[in-house]
Amino acid sequence: MTSQNTTNHPIRKPEYHTHEEFENRSRKLAEIREMGIDPYPHKFPRTDPIRDLLKEHESGDVGKSDDAAAGKTPHVSVAGRLVLFRPMGKNTFGHIQGQTGRIQVMFNRDLTDVEGLSLPESDGPSPWKQIEKKLDLGDIIGIEGHLFRTNKGELTVFAKKFTLLSKTLLPLADKHSGLHDKETRYRKRWLDLISNPEAHSAFGQRSRILHLIRQFMHKENFMEVETPVLQSVYGGAEARPFETHLNALEQDMYMRISLEIPLKKLIIGGMHRVFEIGRVFRNEGIDRNHNPEFTMLEAYSAYWDYYDMMELIENMFEFIALDLYGTTKIPAKLPQSEEEITLDMKTPWPRLTMKEAIKKFGHMDADSLSDEEMSSMLLESGHIAPEKLKTMNRGLLIAALFEVFAEPYLIQPHHIIDHPIETTPLCKPHRKPKEKEGGLVERFESFILGNEISNAYTELNDPELQRELLEQQALRRERGDPEASPLDEEFLEAICQGMPPTAGIGIGIDRMIMILTNTHSIRDVLLFPWMKPLDEMK
My answer on whether 201 and 287 are in the same domain is yes
Residue 478: its pLDDT value, please?
83
Q: Tell me if residue 45 falls in helix, strand or coil.
A: coil
Residue 178: its pLDDT value, please?
46
End-to-end alpha carbon distance in the chain: 42
Q: Residue 80 to residues 111, 117, 506: CA-CA distances in angstroms?
A: 19, 20, 41
Q: Would you say residue 289 lies in a domain? A: yes
The 8-class DSSP code of residue 175 comes to T
Determine phi and psi for 84, rounding to 5 degrees.
-150, 140
Say if residue 420 is preceded by a cis peptide, omega within 30 of 0: no
Contact 195, 179 (CB under 8 A): yes
CA–CA distance, 458 with 466 (Å, rounded to integer): 13
My answer on whether 215 and 158 are in the same domain is no
My answer on whether 334 and 483 are in the same domain is yes
The 8-class DSSP code of residue 334 comes to -
Q: Would you say residue 519 lies in a domain? A: yes
My answer on whether 340 and 269 are in the same domain is yes
Q: Would you say residue 114 lies in a domain? A: yes
User: In which residue ranges of the chain is pLDDT below 50?
Assistant: 1-3, 6, 176, 178
Contact 413, 351 (CB under 8 A): no
My answer on whether 326 and 475 are in the same domain is yes
Strand duo 414-420 + 251-255: pairing: unpaired
* Residue 116 identity (one-letter amino acid): G
At 437, which CATH number? 3.30.930.10
* Residue 464 identity (one-letter amino acid): E
CA–CA distance, 68 with 105 (Å, rounded to integer): 12
Nearest to 445 by CA among 410, 473, 470, 469: 410
Q: Would you say residue 88 lies in a domain? A: yes
* Residue 436 identity (one-letter amino acid): K
Q: Would you say residue 200 lies in a domain? A: yes
Contact 139, 95 (CB under 8 A): no
Q: Note the pTM of the prediction, 2 decimals.
A: 0.89
My answer on whether 235 and 305 are in the same domain is yes
Q: Tell me if residue 19 falls in helix, strand or coil.
A: coil
Q: Residue 212 to residues 206, 208, 219, 318, 439: CA-CA distances in angstroms?
A: 10, 6, 10, 11, 38
Q: Tell me if residue 515 falls in helix, strand or coil.
A: helix
* 300 burial level (CB within 10 Å; 0-12, 13-18, 19+): buried
At 41, which CATH number? 2.40.50.140
CA–CA distance, 335 with 34 (Å, rounded to integer): 58
Q: Would you say residue 518 lies in a domain? A: yes
Angle at which helices 489-496 and 260-268 pack, to 10 degrees?
30
Contact 68, 147 (CB under 8 A): yes
Residue 143 forms beta bridges with which residues? 78, 162
My answer on whether 136 and 245 are in the same domain is no
My answer on whether 123 and 266 are in the same domain is no
Residue 75 forms beta bridges with which residues? 146
My answer on whether 95 and 211 are in the same domain is no
What is the residue range of 431's domain?
195-350+412-531
Q: Would you say residue 5 lies in a domain? A: no
Determine phi and psi for 278, rounding to 5 degrees.
-160, 165
My answer on whether 222 and 163 are in the same domain is no
Number of domains in the chain: 2
CA–CA distance, 189 with 310 (Å, rounded to integer): 36
Helices (H), 12-90: 20-34, 50-56, 65-69
Q: Would you say residue 8 lies in a domain? A: no
My answer on whether 336 and 424 are in the same domain is yes
My answer on whether 315 and 219 are in the same domain is yes
Determine phi and psi for 323, rounding to 5 degrees.
-70, -45
Q: Residue 70 to residues 64, 106, 328, 534: CA-CA distances in angstroms?
A: 10, 14, 53, 54
